Amino acid sequence: MKAAVIFSLVSLALGSVVEKRACAGNNCNRQVTGTRDGLLPITSRQADCSSFMQATVTPSPTTVTVTVTAAPARLRRNGEIANRQVTALPTLIPAYASSCGDAAAYSSACNCWGITAVTTTAPKPTVTVTTTVDYCEGEFLRYTPARRRIQYANVS
């Protein structure tokens, strides 16, 4: 019984040493989580990690169509653009973490502090599309064959 308790305590101690070694084993981790003199304050580096680990998802917008009747105007055609959901991921690594080769390495160093990725969903935007319906008003020539004369018709 004593041997089992001692063995479990030793394995827990070794496990924590191995985990710490994974977080301190390269220059990227040292620059981000280190405590040596000359580094930015830890609170500043932790705030950088927190903002880096945030992703913002913007849902595709809802379209509201408003129809307006107006006088004829010059015809203009625009191609339709498909609305898609957009995810903004941070990619800018702070200058003090120059040993971090990419975003994954910097993210891994931030994970050593227990700072994990957070996804924020922005409110769904509403796009208002105004559709203009043209109408014609004025006089047009109308031919009436029975009387064989031209009449003006007021069309509204």
What is the residue extent of each domain of the chain? Answer: 23-72+85-155
| Contact partners, residue 111, CB within 8 Å, separation at least 6 | none
For the stretch 81-138, pLDDT in tens is 666 777 777 778 888 888 888 888 988 899 988 888 888 888 888 877 777 766 665 5
From the list 106, 108, 107, 103, the residue with the least C-alpha distance to 91 is: 103
Tens-place pLDDT, residues 15-70 = 544 445 567 678 888 888 887 888 889 899 999 999 888 888 888 888 777 777 76
User: How wide is the angle at C-alpha 129 spanned by C-alphas 128 and 130, nearest 5°?
Assistant: 115
- The owner of tokens 């998802």 is 57
What pTM value is reported for the model? 0.51
Amino acid at position 55, single letter:
A
In 3-state terms, what secondary structure has residue 88?
strand
Residue 126's identity, in one-letter code, is T
Phi, psi angles (nearest 5°) of residue 108: -65, -40
Tell me which residue of 126, 124, 153 sits closest to 137, measured CA to CA: 153
